[in-house]
Structure 1
Amino acid sequence: MSNQNPADRPDHSDDPSATPKHAAVTLTPTAHEDTFTRDHLPPPEEWPLIRPLDHPELLNCAAELLDGTIARLGADRPCVIGDHESLTYGQLRERVDRIAHVLVDEHGLRPGRRVLLRGPNSPWLAACWLAILKAGGVVVTVLPVLRAGELTTLLRSAEVSHAVCDARFLDDLTEASANLGDQAPDLLVYGGDGPDDLAARIAGPRADGTPADFTAVPTAADDACMIAYTSGTTGDPKGCVHFHRDVLAVADTYSAHILRPVPDDLFVGSPPFAFTFGLGGLLIFPLRAGAATILLERPRPEALLDAVSERGATIVFTAPTAYRTMLTRIGDRDLSSLRRCVSAGEHLPAATWRAWYEATGIRMLDGIGATEMLHIFVSATDEHMRPGSTGRPVPGFEARILDDQGRPVPDGEPGHLAVRGPVGCRYLADDRQREYVRHGWNHTGDTYVRDEDGYFWYRARSDDMIVSAGYNIAPAEVEEALLTSPEVEEAAVVGARDPDRGLVVHAHVVPRRGSTPDAALADRLKEHVRARIAPYKTPRAVVFRTALPRTATGKLQRFRLREGAADEE
């Protein structure tokens, strides 16, 4: 693979369909001894246009997030708060440095090697994530619910050399490792009670009497620091490679300009670190700001409310589904500490936004991000957020609505959302790079409309659009209408095959408690939709469910609903 960097290539803003010419600029010399990740990046002509922020050539993001923040604000500030322990910045740094020593001195971790990390959000998971990066490793954080077969696929894909795992989630990883034979990763465990547990191994003075401090590996800003695998609803997972500079870029764009945290903030949320929405919102952003973060192992909606009412959390990160559940359980809780509520992971309906505002007085921040882009790239500050709109491009990013040929469409017309900025998609050895990146733009796979004020309005995943008798029907619009009914808890809309119309609208509905899921309710909901949007968008069928199918990160699995619709035909 070539070591060219397309970051400085010419801007083709006036002709998005033109094939960009690539400047022959070399990447910064790597600090990685194992260059697997850099060697398996896409060729430069398949990169998006990337405009990095002004970061130094040598940059270790873990050292900047932890040591750099301590240098600015001190070591005694609260940092990570878990179910069983809380650590200051200084205490977290000591744990990080000791773990890094074990990885390097006792397990031979060399810069550039991939380290799988598995466990629920906790201070230990945060410490291990930072330690791997500080030691120059490339972290591959995975969901603790993945099974042995899924883990085997990821271990092979990233050629993982080491794995760090919460003791409670060891069985599937042990089975996956056995599948690899001689290629099995070197395994470290935390959270157990044996002498080989990391907690025991980092306790007390070092055996050789040397200081516990660990000097971060001086990685290049464009050295890989993580491979984030997509939590996609279908297909094989794709490994998204992100650099040390990318980690700071999302903090210095979205967090700095939209979220605007301060050192006294207290973060809490539901997404796991394996979901980059959670990694940014619950680790990168608070550490960059010198704030504290509550890391819940079981972040149910009630636990999020408890964190606000009992601990004074000020910033919440979760998905629309959780906000809707919390609305039914707020009761007389004191939520006065709340400053910001961030929603992402799926479309935020205007009805949910308004209900949350009426209940709390907080103007929720909607946003769209992607594993490929690391975090949110379209949003708006709370004072400028419009209900139902995702927002405008985050400062540092560009966004456009393009047609099938890559040409901009007029405001008010739907098209494909394309973005670019200081980060971008770089799949690990994956031909699907050419699908996601076209003409220098990252194509998110979403259909959007931009209005005359520059706000972006979600319509559908591009492959979810329902074309019925020649009409384009956006599932989100029908879902919005359904969710305005007091009898609907959740709703998802998909297309079902029809011999006359091609596709027809099927609505899958979770009724609110107290509503009877019968034919009468289905008829009422159809009339409710018909009274609010064009009649041709009214569902032909309403299917009642106790829950909607979702991934472990909370994303709706529409393909399972479509499969169900096919079975009903």
Structure 2
Amino acid sequence: MYKSAHIDTFTRDNLPSEDQWPELTFTLPALNYPERLNAAAALLASGAPDAPAILWADGAWTYAELTTEASRIAHVLTADMGLVPGGRVLLRGRNTPMMLAAWYGVLLAGGVVVATMPLLRAPELVTICNKAEITLALSENSLMDELAVAAKLTHSKLKIMGFGDKGAELEAHMKNKPANFTPVATAQDDVALLAFTSGTTGQPKACIHFHRDVLIMADTYAAEVVKPDASDIFSGSPPIAFTFGLGGLVVFPARFGAAVALPSGPSAEAFMDTIERHGVTIIFTAPTAYRAMLGQMEGRNLSSLRRCISAGETLPEATYHAWYAETGLKLMDGIGATEMIHIFISAPYDAIRPGSTGTPVPGYEACVQDDDGTILTPPATGRLAVKGPTGCRYMADDRQRTYVQGGWNITGDTYHQSEDGYFTFIARSDDMIVSSGYNIGGPEVEAALLAHDAVAECAVIGVPDADRGQIVKAFVVAAKGYEGDAALAATLQAHVKNTIAPYKYPRAIEFIDELPKTQTGKLQRFKLRG
């Protein structure tokens, strides 16, 4: 490892030991980065100063203007909030220009970005703050309520500055700050991001990514598969707290000097408005969103599009064909993971095979293995294993040994590998529920349900759904004195929405007399799946 620029060494101190890391391979010449590398500075320097960087319904910033905003935020963080290199900064906001500027500002100042989903509730934010020992946060004012509650419950005092509307504290502090900030000369393997991912145990895992990893996802997948240039305009719906959204809406546009157009909201209508208004050429979203747009095509002109990337959940072949029939464009499927930072299997536009995810992204290699780690000779079906220039590094988490085995990243997916090297998704091989592109750990939903007095026992699984891929379904044993009926189901759904992020709530609840278990009392989920 290179000499770190971090004064606060918490993240580096909590890396897994190097013998638990996956094997890292840097086979592409583009990945030969200098020892000192600040990802934000490199990205901001990629665009021409007067070229558009961020577009939205009410305005636009050039790269020069974005750099100024990010620089002023970096000054606020260091001069007014006490950030030192290596300190973690929680970001809480929707995909807005200020949220993106804040992301850049933290990295320019040598901080570690901890971006969070806008829908997270206070208990979830407390867990993240405590695990990452966060003391600084920038939050959109409209999302401040849950964070304010969390701040009272965290182990460390949390200093919060709000942004995003007239008179907001962050913008007020920025007014008199210099327009230039000298980026901290971080090492290429200094930590840039802590990306939290839902786990099947319900305890979030913090994935550690370096400054070089931020650029690697652009210099592998984007450069070799998407192949954008400075004339492109990107857009998408995933929050930048998802590394899928971070790549598609922040890193990829900037790396190629292109622009990103930000939708005003999460709806299909807002997304399509943005595509039409700005002449968007490349979009990133989940299959659920493509299906939603298909239902609203009348009167729309999406002819500016040239690349449509789908990830976050498996792409149904029917959705692929419906989109192609409507637009004449192929959907570019891909699989990525928060642990890997972005997509590692996909196919270039002219090599897409409907129904298949694709082939390893240049720079990565993949195989299928049996449960003992033996690589299977294709055609074969088994556990998907992948390695390349990025890989899993969980922060202070014993689950590192499960995800990384024999130098390979074991993704938790079962795949079929064809004789000619195409990978086709079969199923998740763990209990992760993937609904509308969101990863939802069943045990977290179970814990929320069990916090209600009406629930004696429960179990949560994912069940197929035509619109969302999967939905969360809960099997509930009602506590004594409670009637398992529609009214109680509605009460429990509301309870979960108010306890954890609303998108995690069980859309279906079935009341049963007892859960299926082994003689030793272990839950038999396979029986619930039928």
Hey, what's the Cα distance between the residues in 2 that align with 1:307 and 1:218?
A: 37
Deviations, residues 2-43 of structure 1 (Å, cap 9, x unaligned): xxxxxxxxxxxxxxxxxxxxxxxxx10100001000000001
Rate the CA distance shift 1:263–1:87 in 2: closer, same or farther, 3 A. Answer: same
Say whether residues 1:326 and 2:304 are aligned partners: no
SS state of the match for residue 228, structure 1?
A: strand
The 5-angstrom pairing of residues 337-486 of structure 1 reads 337-463=304-430
Say if 2:200 and 2:431, in contact at 8 Å, map to a contact too: no
State TM-score, norm by structure 1: 0.76
Paired residues in the alignment total: 462
**Per-residue deviation at 1:412?**
2.6
Distance, in Å, in 1 between the alignment partners of 2:246 and 2:502 is: 12
How far is the alpha carbon of 1:294 from its aligned partner?
1.3
**What is the DSSP-based 3-state SS (H/G/I as helix, E as strand, rest coil) of the residue aligned with 1:365?**
strand
Matched, 1:54 2:26: no
Deviation, structure 1 residue 172: 1.0
Instruction: Describe the superposition over 1:50-102 as per-residue Cα deviations: whole angstroms up to 9, x where unpaired.
Output: 12421111000000000x214xxx21111112344321111100001111011
Aligned to 1:534: none
Deviation at 1:510, TM superposition (A): 5.3
Q: Which residue of 1 aligns with 2:473?
A: none
Equivalence map 1:199-348=2 (5 Å): 199-203=171-175, 205-206=176-177, 211-232=178-199, 235-348=202-315
Aligned to 2:129: 155
Corresponding residue to 1:103 among 61, 74, 77: 77
Matches of 2:199 and 2:222, distance apart in 1:
24
* CA–CA separation in structure 2 for the residues paired with 1:176 and 1:464: 28
AA of the residue aligned to 1:160? I
Whole-Å Cα distance in 2 between the matches of residues 448 and 42 of structure 1? 28
Residue 468 of structure 1 is matched in structure 2 by none
CA distance in 1, matches of 2:396, 2:117: 22
**SS in structure 2 of the partner of residue 179 of structure 1:** coil
In the alignment, is residue 122 of structure 1 matched against residue 96 of structure 2? yes
Q: Deviations over 1:195-243 (max 9, x none)?
A: x61112212x44xxxx431000000000000100004465211000000
Structure number with bigger Rg:
1
Q: Which amino acid aligns with 1:77?
A: A
Determine whether 1:198 maps to 2:170: yes
**Deviation sequence 1:137-192 (CA, Å, 0-9, x none):** 001000111111110100000001210100111111111111126x1222111124
CA distance in 2, matches of 1:305, 1:264: 20
Aligned with 2:254: secondary structure?
helix
Residue identity opposite 1:330 in structure 2: M
Whole-Å separation in 2 of the counterparts to 1:558 and 1:245: 40
Secondary structure, in 3 states, of the residue corresponding to 2:372? coil
Change (3 A) 1:88 1:244: same
Quick one: which amino acid aligns to residue 118 of structure 1? Answer: R
Is 1:166 aligned to residue 140 of structure 2? yes
Q: How far is the alpha carbon of 1:303 from its aligned partner?
A: 1.7
Q: What is the CA–CA distance in structure 1 between the aligned matches of 2:505 and 2:188, rounded to whole Å?
A: 35
Q: Determine if the alignment matches structure 1 residue 75 to structure 2 residue 49.
A: yes
C-alpha separation between the residues in 2 aligned to 1:189 and 1:436? Answer: 37
Please say if residues 57 and 274 of structure 2, whose CA atoms lie closer than 8 Å, have aligned partners that are also in contact. no
Alpha-carbon distance change, 171 to 98 in structure 1, aligned in 2, over 3 angstroms: same
Distance 1:231 1:506 in 2: 15
Deviations 1:545-564 (A, max 9, x none): xx9x9997989989989999
Contact 1:312–1:338, Cα closer than 8 Å, also in 2: yes
> Which consecutive residues of structure 2, in runs of 5 or more, have no partner in the other structure?
436-441, 443-460, 469-492, 516-524
Select which of 26, 30, 43 maps to 1:65. Answer: 43
Quote the offset at 1:267 in angstroms. Answer: 0.8
Amino acid at match of 1:185: L
Q: Are 1:140 and 2:114 counterparts?
A: yes
1-structure distance, mates of 2:311, 2:365: 19
Q: Distance in 2 between matches of 1:170 and 1:109?
A: 20
Give the residue type in structure 1 aligned to 2:305.
Answer: L
The answer on whether the counterparts of 1:251 and 1:288 sit within 8 Å (CA) in structure 2 is: yes
Shift in alpha-carbon separation, 1:565–1:397, aligned structure 2, 3 A: closer
CA displacement at 1:331 relative to structure 2: 1.3
Q: Which residue of 2 aligns with 1:489?
A: none
Contact 1:275 1:553 in 2 (8 A): no
Could you say which residue in structure 2 is the equivalent of 1:484? none
- 1: CA distance, partners of 2:163 / 2:148: 14
Aligned residues of 1:233 and 1:556 also touching (Cα < 8 A): no
Counterpart code for 1:80: I
Q: Using the alignment, how far apart are the partners of 2:146 and 2:426 within structure 1?
A: 39
Distance in structure 2 (CA, Å) of the matches to 1:149 and 1:322: 29
In structure 2, do the counterparts of structure 1 residues 178 and 50 end up closer, same or farther at CA, with 3 Å as the change threshold? same
Name the CA distance, whole Å, in 2 between partners of 1:337 and 1:229.
Answer: 34
Percent identical residues: 50
Q: Contact 1:318 / 1:344 at 8 angstroms: preserved in 2?
A: yes
SS of residue matched to 1:373: coil
Please say which of residues 273-282 and 299-308 is displaced more in the overlay.
Answer: 299-308
Aligned structure 1 segments of 4 or more residues deviating by more than 6 angstroms: 549-569
Specify the SS of the correspondent of 2:289. Answer: helix
**Contact 2:121 / 2:501 at 8 angstroms: preserved in 1?**
no
| Secondary structure of 1:430 counterpart | coil
Q: In the alignment, which residue of structure 1 is the partner of 2:438? A: none
2:475 match: none
**Which whole-Å deviations, capped at 9, do the CAs of 1:259-318 have from their partners, x for residues lacking one?**
111111111111001111000001000000111101224121122222223321111111
1:299 alignment partner AA: P
Deviations 1:381-413 (A, max 9, x none): 111011010000000000010011111113132
Q: How far apart are the structure 2 equivalents of 1:559 and 1:391? A: 33
Measured in 1, the distance between the counterparts of 2:118 and 2:320 equals: 31
* Contact in 2 for aligned 1:233/1:555 (Cα 8 Å): no
2:67 is aligned with 1:90: no
What SS is found at the alignment partner of 1:416? strand
Q: Distance in 2 between matches of 1:130 and 1:511?
A: 35
Distance 1:131 1:271 in 2: 21
Q: Deviations over 1:523-563 (max 9, x none)?
A: xxxxxxxxxxxxxxxxxxxxxxxx9x999798998998999
How far, CA to CA, are the matches of 1:156 and 1:127 in structure 2? 25
Pair 403,553 (structure 1): closer, same or farther in 2 beyond 3 Å:
farther
Find the counterpart in structure 2 of residue 179 from structure 1: 153
| Secondary structure of the corresponding residue to residue 339 of structure 2 | helix
Superposed CA offset, 1:355-387 (max 9, x none):
111111111100000000000000001110110
